[in-house]
Amino acid sequence: MLDLTGKNALVTGIANNRSIAWGIAQQLHQAGANLGVTFLPDDKGRFEKKVRDLVEPLNPSIFVPCDVQNEEQIESAFGTIADMWGKLDILIHCLAFADKEGLSGEFSGISREAFTKSLDISTYSLVRMAKSAKPLMKEGGSIVTLTYVGGVKVIPNYNLMGVAKAGLEMSVRYLAAELGSHNIRVNGISAGPIRTLASSAVGGILDMIHHVEQVAPLKRTVTQTEVGNTAAFLCSDLSSGITGQIIYVDAGYEIMGM
């Protein structure tokens, strides 16, 4: 039923084997998609090697650097897609960043620099990538981003990232409204807490997970694979009528009032 054969998918945000993007890449590959992978370059090339070794079994046909704060790298990544694939069907936006000062302590104390950087990387990057993806999604397409309930409700320590996610979720709606006439769908997955590199920077992530395990209807949090399965569904024709939505993959936590 879920067949992505013949679809070209660009996956951003793989840092290591705990990354949600890694769970998504595996499920897209299993469904038959042809993968392209971006990595965040660093001076010593450590991320590149780590991500390259990790994704090798999935045979990505494109593997390129893409720091979303770097215009040249964004242009170059989508230029490579145009040259090698000619068209893009799926864009997975699975990245975020906030300085430590934005993820604990007093919200009112967050600096202008930290605020701007976080929203640039975590929120604007979706809009920027959608701009480059649009002309390549000639046969329509699906854009999926990752968000968290901390973008609609106050979660202790999520602070700055909550603002970034609120902006991201609204960007999903505005992009969906614009791109719908090109048969490009834009949706977000609001995932339950999962231990990853990024989430470990949020103060008290383990407490969040334990809280979800007690309160969520399913009495547990979710896995990368479960998020990956929902992403594959949102990228497939099975979800052809869904756009502009935030789908909760959180073991039901979001419905609970207490």
Ligand X SMILES: NC(=O)c1ccc[n+]([C@@H]2O[C@H](COP(=O)([O-])OP(=O)(O)OC[C@H]3O[C@@H](n4cnc5c(N)ncnc54)[C@H](O)[C@@H]3O)[C@@H](O)[C@H]2O)c1
Q: Where is the binding site for substrate, in residues?
A: 98
The reply on whether position 68 binds ligand X by CB under 6 A is yes
Please state the closest distance from residue 20 (CB atom) to ligand X, in A.
Answer: 4
The reply on whether position 247 binds ligand X by CB under 6 A is no
Site string for ligand X, 131-170 (x = CB under 6 A): ---------------xxx----------------------
Per-position DSSP letters for the chain, written without gaps between them: ----TT-EEEE----STT-HHHHHHHHHHHTTPEEEEEE---TT-HHHHHHHHHHGGG--SEEEE--TT-HHHHHHHHHHHHHHTS---EEEE------GGGSSS-GGG--HHHHHHHHIIIIIHHHHHHHHHGGG-BTBEEEEEEE-GGGTS--TTTHHHHHHHHHHHHHHHHHHHHHGGGTEEEEEEEEPP---HHHHTSTTHHHHHHHHHHHSTTSS---HHHHHHHHHHHHSGGGTT--S-EEEESTTGGG---
Please state the closest distance from residue 146 (CB atom) to ligand X, in A.
Answer: 4
Whether 148 is catalytic: yes
Please state the closest distance from residue 138 (CB atom) to ligand X, in A.
Answer: 25
The reply on whether position 248 binds ligand X by CB under 6 A is no
Tell me whether residue 138 or residue 219 sits nearer to ligand X (CB atom). 219
Catalytic residue annotation: 148, 158
Q: Which residues bind ligand X (CB under 6 A)?
A: 13-15, 18-21, 40, 66-69, 94-97, 121, 146-148, 191, 193-194, 196-199
